[in-house]
Amino acid sequence: MEHVAKLARLALSDDEIEQFTVQLGAVLEHFASVAALDTSDVPPTSHPIPLSNVLRPDEPRPGLDREIVLGMAPEAEDGRFRVPRILAEEQ
Amino acid sequence: MSAAAGAGGGPGLTGRTAAELAALVRSGDVSAVEVTDAHLARIETLDGQVRSFLCVGADSARAAAAAVDARRARGEELGPLAGVPVAVKDMFCTTDLPTTAGSRILEGWRPPYDSTVVARLRAAGAIVIGKTNLDEFAMGSSNENSGFVPCANPWDLTRVPGGSSGGSAAAVAAGFAPLAIGTDTGGSIRQPAALCGVVGLRPTYGRVSRYGIIAYASSLDQAGPFAATVADTALLLEAMWGHDPLDSTSIPSAPEPALTRLEDGVAGLRVGVVSELADVAGIQPEVRAAVDAARNLFEKAGAEVDVVSVPSVEYGLSAYYIIAPAEASSNLARYDGERYGLRAEAAEVEAMNALTREQGFGAEVKRRIMLGTYALSAGYYDAYYGQAQRVRTLIIRDFSRAYERFDVLLAPTSPTTAFELGSKTADPLAMYLSDVCTIPTNLTGACAISVPAGLDAAGLPIGVQVLAPALGEAVLLRAARALEAGFAFTARPTLGEEAA
């Protein structure tokens, strides 16, 4: 659970980890009957209504206004998003 | 104001169909502002007990209504929904109202553009009256996963309205708006429609643009209409659907008109009752009886009805609860506190991401992200996500076989009527089981509709579901209209005058 939480970027509490372990176990158990099906000759479906080569003319068009987009950000500076430091101090 | 608008003005304008209101506005018998004010007043008086709206756009709605009246005064052409209030699930981006997906992580966020559906509704003259309550990121079957406040069922305020589009269904049932829109990833339009006694339609995947709708599970998400009548449902659907170059999964062909052939009847139509769903485990006897009643109505109207087996539907729920969380875990990675929404304080960016998500997401969203991340993780991908996708193929094949013999299928919408608030929140799997009859349509990408079929002994609405193959909305609505005429369901919930 802790490994998955790290992959999912979730700082779960100990209580949540305990609770989710039980609850997700039940869901995965429910999946067991599906896991047991022989599907070796069945192709997977990723999209129910397949469309391929969806193209549009390569014409420039206006994008979103930068000021509006940066105005939604928790923090912005010099026309860019500002975030806390990316490398920890010891690195 | 004319007599047609009802004595006393305002109150006489609520509880009418969208078609009636559009005709009144077009003829000039009432103004769009009067229609809007009447609905705003009803919301103001009564939504305190239902909580179907997260945000009411009184000023923006009045401004939009005034613009409709001005167009009419200038003699300009009015759209098919001119002056008709529509309640919008808070999954659709709106530039004039905050869009939260029912999540604290997006609290107060104002999108920089309108979703295609909302833009089309505005162009059709509809008045966006407010944003409706929902399960956070559309994950839930009861609206209790709302990050703000649970919505109640207008028929019994101690019960759930269904979910995830519970606020939209409740708003139509309570007469706060004649029309509403929602999204349906696993039944989130049809199940609340059934539990609230209104009509709800999930269109074919790709029929309605997903552009500007907050993404939950991209291969399953589809937007659709709610209304009190099948005709209004068709009217709203025709204002929403059609190709959108901004959505690469949008179907390029033009839809077959649905409204014009609505009254053509079902003589000779081949209807299959899906045995696995009609007799699904835990089905309430009154719901089962309603499916039989629907079968009889179809037969009386000249349809040819038989029973059909779609054996793989029993795997639908399991496949869905792998596929949807997997796609959600990917889609919701964008809520990281960097570009919009909530940001938690931390010295270093990765800790900020994780803490923001921990604080901003509710329990069900975290559960599904965890489940989806696990199902996609190295070493498990093929056993879970891959297997679920192959089972999805099996279900599609089974339905294709059924549609060789039948034009439409019949099933319950929800195994039970509305359950008590709080009764399933501790057991996610029990909650998931309320989607068992709706999920197959999402997996196959086809369309389906829930139609009110009466009330159970406790006075709670029952819904029956009609299913049609992909692109079958016209026949779907025609069949639904025949059921509606047969059931003649006209009951409406009574809401106390005093806000709770």
Tens digits of per-residue pLDDT, B293-307?
999 999 999 999 999
On chain B, the residues whose CB falls within 8 A of the CB of A31 are 318, 321-322, 384, 388
Give pLDDT, residue B493. Answer: 96
> CA angle B36-B38-B44, nearest 5°?
100
A62 touches chain B (CB under 8 A): no
User: To probe the interface with B, which of A49, A54, A91 has the most B CB atoms within 10 Å?
Assistant: A49
Distance from the B219 Cα atom to the nearest Cα atom in chain A, whole angstroms: 5
On chain B, the residues whose CB falls within 8 A of the CB of A53 are none
**CA dist., res. B481 & res. B490, Å (int):** 14
Quote the tokens at residue A3.
Answer: 């490994």
Full-model pTM: 0.96
Classified as helix, coil or strand, B187 is: coil
Q: Enumerate the H helices of B377-472 as residue ranges.
A: 387-405, 428-432, 439-444
Contact criterion met (CB < 8 Å) for B245 and A20: no
The verdict on residue A31 lying in a domain is yes
Confidence of residue B1 (pLDDT cuts 50, 70, 90): very low
A84 touches chain B (CB under 8 A): yes
Q: What is the pLDDT of residues B477-493, one digit of tens each?
A: 999 999 999 999 999 99
- With tokens 């010891």, the residue in question is A90
Contact criterion met (CB < 8 Å) for A37 and B336: no
Confidence of residue B429 (pLDDT cuts 50, 70, 90): confident
On chain B, the residues whose CB falls within 8 A of the CB of A76 are none
The percentage of chain B sitting over the pLDDT mark of 70, rounded to a whole number, equals 97
Residue B455 forms beta bridges with which residues? Answer: B461
Range of the domain at A18: 1-35
Distance from the B378 Cα atom to the nearest Cα atom in chain A, whole angstroms: 11
Quote the tokens at residue B145.
Answer: 């996963």
**CA dist., res. B181 & res. B217, Å (int):** 18
Contact B450, B193 (CB under 8 A): yes
Confidence of residue B430 (pLDDT cuts 50, 70, 90): confident
User: To probe the interface with B, which of A2, A3, A10 has the most B CB atoms within 10 Å?
Assistant: A10
Scanning every residue of chain B, which has its alpha carbon at the shortest distance from the alpha carbon of A55?
A: B248
**CA dist., res. B303 & res. B409, Å (int):** 12
Contact criterion met (CB < 8 Å) for B354 and A39: no
Strands B199-202 and B223-227: antiparallel
The verdict on residue A24 lying in a domain is yes
Which strands form B127-132's sheet, in the order they lie side by side?
B53-56, B127-132, B85-89, B179-183, B223-227, B199-202, B447-455, B461-468, B408-412, B270-274, B304-308
Contact criterion met (CB < 8 Å) for A46 and B337: no
User: To probe the interface with A, which of B370, B387, B396, B436 has the most A CB atoms within 10 Å?
Assistant: B370
Sequence-distant (≥ 6) Cβ neighbours of residue B267 within 8 angstroms: B301, B302, B303
Q: What is the pLDDT of residues B118-168, one digit of tens each?
A: 999 999 999 999 999 999 999 999 999 999 999 999 999 999 999 999 999
Contact B312, A39 (CB under 8 A): no
Contact criterion met (CB < 8 Å) for B112 and A51: no
Pick from B204, B318, B396: CB nearest A34: B318
Please check the confidence at residue B10 and state whether its pLDDT lies above 80: no
**CA dist., res. B34 & res. B201, Å (int):** 29
Q: Does the bond joining B103 to the residue before it have cis omega, within 30 degrees of 0?
A: no
Contact criterion met (CB < 8 Å) for B371 and A75: no
Considering only CA atoms, which of B148, B248, B237, B256 is closest in space to residue B189? B237
Confidence of residue B326 (pLDDT cuts 50, 70, 90): very high
Alpha carbon B209 to chain centroid, angstroms: 15
Give pLDDT, residue B498. Answer: 42
H-helix or E-strand containing A81?
strand A80-81
Contact criterion met (CB < 8 Å) for A48 and B363: no
Give pLDDT, residue B9. Answer: 43
**CA dist., res. B492 & res. B97, Å (int):** 29
Q: What is the pLDDT of residues B176-210, one digit of tens each?
A: 999 999 999 999 999 999 999 999 999 999 999 99
Give pLDDT, residue A90. Answer: 57
CA dihedral B446, B450, B451, B452 (to 10 degrees): 170
On chain A, the residues whose CB falls within 8 A of the CB of B110 are 72
Sequence-distant (≥ 6) Cβ neighbours of residue A18 within 8 angstroms: none
First and final C-alpha spacing in chain B: 33
Contact criterion met (CB < 8 Å) for A10 and B340: no
The verdict on residue A5 lying in a domain is yes
Determine phi and psi for B444, rounding to 5 degrees. Answer: -85, -15
Handedness of CA B3, B8, B10, B14 (dihedral sign): negative
Average pLDDT score over residue span B9-38: 92
Quote the tokens at residue B199.
Answer: 């009509």
Contact criterion met (CB < 8 Å) for A39 and B390: yes
In chain B, helix, strand, coil percent, each to 5? 45, 15, 45
Greatest alpha-carbon pair distance for chain A in Å reads 57
Catalytic residue ranges of B: 89, 164, 188
The percentage of chain B sitting over the pLDDT mark of 90, rounded to a whole number, equals 95
Contact B162, B418 (CB under 8 A): yes
Residue B130 forms beta bridges with which residues? Answer: B56, B87
Please check the confidence at residue B6 and state whether its pLDDT lies above 90: no
Confidence of residue B2 (pLDDT cuts 50, 70, 90): very low
Contact B456, B164 (CB under 8 A): no
Contact B116, B246 (CB under 8 A): yes
Scanning every residue of chain B, which has its alpha carbon at the shortest distance from the alpha carbon of A30?
A: B318
Q: What is the pLDDT of residues B214-232, one digit of tens each?
A: 999 999 999 999 999 999 9
How many beta-carbon pairs below 8 A join chains A and B?
Answer: 171
A46 touches chain B (CB under 8 A): yes
Contact criterion met (CB < 8 Å) for B443 and A48: yes
Mean of the per-residue pLDDT values of chain B: 95
Q: What is the pLDDT of residues A35-82, one digit of tens each?
A: 899 999 999 999 998 888 888 889 999 999 999 999 999 999 999 999
Contact B463, B193 (CB under 8 A): yes
Give pLDDT, residue B3. Answer: 36
Domain ranges of chain B: 9-319+385-487, 320-384
Considering only CA atoms, which of B252, B254, B221, B244 is closest in space to residue B115? B244
**CA dist., res. A3 & res. B152, Å (int):** 38
Sequence-distant (≥ 6) Cβ neighbours of residue B225 within 8 angstroms: B179, B180, B181, B189, B200, B201, B232, B233, B236, B237, B240
On chain B, the residues whose CB falls within 8 A of the CB of A43 are 390, 393
Contact B187, B437 (CB under 8 A): yes
Looking at this predicted complex, what is its ipTM?
0.94
Q: What is the pLDDT of residues B243-272, one digit of tens each?
A: 999 999 999 999 999 999 999 999 999 999
Give pLDDT, residue B496. Answer: 79
Please check the confidence at residue B47 and state whether its pLDDT lies above 90: yes
Q: Mapped to the 3 state alphabet, what secondary structure does A29-54 carry?
A: HHCHHHHCCCCCCCCCCCCCCCCCCC
**CA dist., res. B325 & res. B57, Å (int):** 32
Confidence of residue A89 (pLDDT cuts 50, 70, 90): low
**CA dist., res. B186 & res. B205, Å (int):** 12
Scanning every residue of chain B, which has its alpha carbon at the shortest distance from the alpha carbon of A7?
A: B373
Residue A1 forms beta bridges with which residues? Answer: none
Confidence of residue B460 (pLDDT cuts 50, 70, 90): very high
Q: Which CATH number fits domain B9-319+385-487: 3.90.1300.10, 3.20.170.30, 3.40.50.280, 3.20.20.110?
A: 3.90.1300.10
Which segments within B32-160 are labelled E, that is strand?
53-56, 85-89, 127-132
